[in-house]
């Protein structure tokens, strides 16, 4: 048996603009997906994920080659999660050359699904790491991140940046620009996350920004401005100036709103956090619903979010210095 965990992430700066080659800075957070893998005697997959959603599921099937059985897995998000596990296991079969290997896979996750916190990347990173180690192979972090990216790229049909998977594999704050990913020096960041209980449609939101950008020069300039802001943000991080980081998060949120990817619930949570004294607050990820991230060293923003209508969950999450963790 092998057990690995990997963290989720927030975007400190730069989502959406990263799609057009601008830099972005995601940060790993101490909310993890833990995956336990045990080799089977046959080539089947059995996936158990009791807390991946409110309902949980257990499913046994032949794996990617046989397709999913027509079983009672009603929720689209759970179907999506199975797709990621399939993809991860295909990578493991490929890298180890053991094309007929089967596994029992158990997923425990503290990361809400599809809400901009990188839940799928964390599951994929932890699953590939645990399953390869179960077969006696320990991947270097770079290769793990790349295999996890290939999985997301295939499952999301080409719509994936390297941000989530690299960040989850390495931990810490990272800078992503195209295929170039590297770690950044960052001070300890007091993240507070508000979750509206929903999820945005990443594909539609990305398409919306794309057409705005094609239609209006000022929308294209807004995307470039996000890139400038990210470069300022990197300098603020390196200087350890978290007040400036907060101001730039506010600015980044305004630009994302201008690009049409905010939502009423996200605005309400962003303003609740700011009113409570947060240093900055913005949506994180694709937007449209899901999560906001605020910076607040005091308990005020988290408390305010807990009492904000439309905020289903609020929690603190420190920067995860460590990416993948090998637990067993």
Known binding-site residues equal 112-122
Rg (CA), the chain: 19
Spatial distance between the Cα atoms of 291 and 42, rounded to a whole number of angstroms = 40
- Which residue is closest to ligand PMV by CB? 285
Q: Which of 86, 129, 146, 164 is catalytic?
A: 164
HSE-up (13 A, CA, CB side) for residue 43 = 11
Residue 218 beta carbon to ligand PMV: minimum distance, rounded to whole angstroms: 20
Nearer to ligand PMV, 118 or 172 (CB): 118
Residue 26 beta carbon to ligand PMV: minimum distance, rounded to whole angstroms: 8
Q: Which of 169, 8, 144 is nearest to 88 (CA)?
A: 144
Q: 60 pairs with which residues across the strands? A: 46
Q: 292 pairs with which residues across the strands? A: 194, 283
Give the one residue of 154, 206, 219, 220 binding ligand PMV; rule: CB under 6 A. 206
**Does 80 contact ligand PMV by CB under 6 A?**
no
Interacting span for ligand PMV (CB under 6 A) from 16-24, 34-42, 73-81, 313-321: 16-24
Give the one residue of 5, 34, 161, 308 binding ligand PMV; rule: CB under 6 A. 161
Could you give the string, one character per residue 249-288, with x where binding to ligand PMV holds by CB under 6 A and - elsewhere?
A: ------------------------------------xx--
Residue 147 beta carbon to ligand PMV: minimum distance, rounded to whole angstroms: 18
**Tokens, residue 35:** 């995956």
Q: Which of 151, 189, 197, 160 is nearest to 172 (CA)?
A: 189
Q: 176 pairs with which residues across the strands? A: 24, 181
231 Cβ partners below 8 Å, 6+ apart? Answer: 23
Interacting span for ligand PMV (CB under 6 A) from 54-62, 155-163, 235-243, 294-302: 155-163
Binding site feature residues for ATP: 112-122
**Tokens, residue 3:** 């057990």
Q: Where are the alpha helices (DSSP H) in 97-216?
A: 119-134, 141-155, 163-170, 202-215
What is the dihedral angle through the alpha carbons of 37, 56, 168, 290, rounded to the nearest 10 degrees? 170
- Other Cβ atoms closer than 10 A to 298: 13
Interface with ligand PMV: number of residues (CB under 6 A): 14
Could you give the string, one character per residue 19-58, with x where binding to ligand PMV holds by CB under 6 A and - elsewhere?
A: x---------------------------------------
Spatial distance between the Cα atoms of 115 and 156, rounded to a whole number of angstroms = 15
**Does 118 contact ligand PMV by CB under 6 A?**
yes
Spatial distance between the Cα atoms of 236 and 187, rounded to a whole number of angstroms = 10
**Does 18 contact ligand PMV by CB under 6 A?**
yes
Residue 240 beta carbon to ligand PMV: minimum distance, rounded to whole angstroms: 26
Q: Is 164 a catalytic residue?
A: yes
Nearer to ligand PMV, 118 or 323 (CB): 118
Catalytic residues: 164
The residues of the shown chain that bind ligand PMV, judged by CB under 6 A, are: 15-16, 18-19, 116, 118, 160-161, 163-164, 202, 206, 285-286
């Amino acid at each position: 048996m092998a057990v690995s965990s990997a963290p989720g992430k927030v975007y400190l700066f730069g989502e959406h603009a990263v799609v057009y080659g601008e830099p972005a800075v995601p940060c790993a957070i101490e909310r993890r997906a833990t995956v336990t893998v045990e080799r089977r005697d046959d080539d089947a997959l059995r996936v158990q994920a009791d807390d991946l959603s409110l309902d949980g599921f257990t499913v046994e099937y032949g794996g990617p080659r046989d397709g999913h059985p027509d079983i009672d897995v009603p929720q689209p998000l759970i179907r999506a999660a199975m797709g990621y596990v399939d993809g991860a296991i295909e990578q493991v079969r490929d890298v180890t050359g053991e094309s007929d290997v089967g596994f029992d896979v158990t997923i425990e996750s503290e990361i809400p699904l599809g809400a901009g916190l990188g839940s799928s990347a964390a599951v994929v990173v932890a699953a590939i790491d645990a399953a390869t180690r179960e077969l006696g192979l320990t991947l270097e972090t770079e290769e793990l991140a790349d295999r996890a990216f290939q999985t997301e790229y295939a499952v999301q049909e080409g719509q994936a940046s390297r941000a989530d998977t690299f960040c989850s594999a390495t931990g810490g704050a990272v800078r992503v620009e195209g295929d170039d990913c590297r770690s950044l020096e960052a001070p300890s960041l007091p993240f507070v996350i508000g979750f509206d209980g929903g999820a945005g449609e990443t594909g539609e939101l990305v398409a919306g920004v794309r057409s705005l950008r094609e239609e209006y020069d000022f929308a294209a300039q807004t995307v470039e401005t996000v890139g400038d802001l990210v470069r300022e943000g990197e300098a603020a991080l390196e200087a350890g100036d978290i007040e400036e980081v907060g101001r730039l998060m506010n600015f980044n949120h305004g630009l994302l709103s201008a690009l049409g990817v905010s939502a009423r619930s996200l605005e309400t949570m962003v303003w609740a956090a700011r009113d409570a004294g947060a240093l900055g607050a913005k949506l994180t990820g694709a937007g449209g619903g899901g999560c906001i991230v605020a910076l607040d060293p005091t308990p005020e923003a988290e408390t305010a979010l807990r009492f904000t209508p439309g905020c289903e969950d609020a929690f603190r999450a420190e920067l995860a210095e460590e990416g993948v963790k090998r637990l067993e």
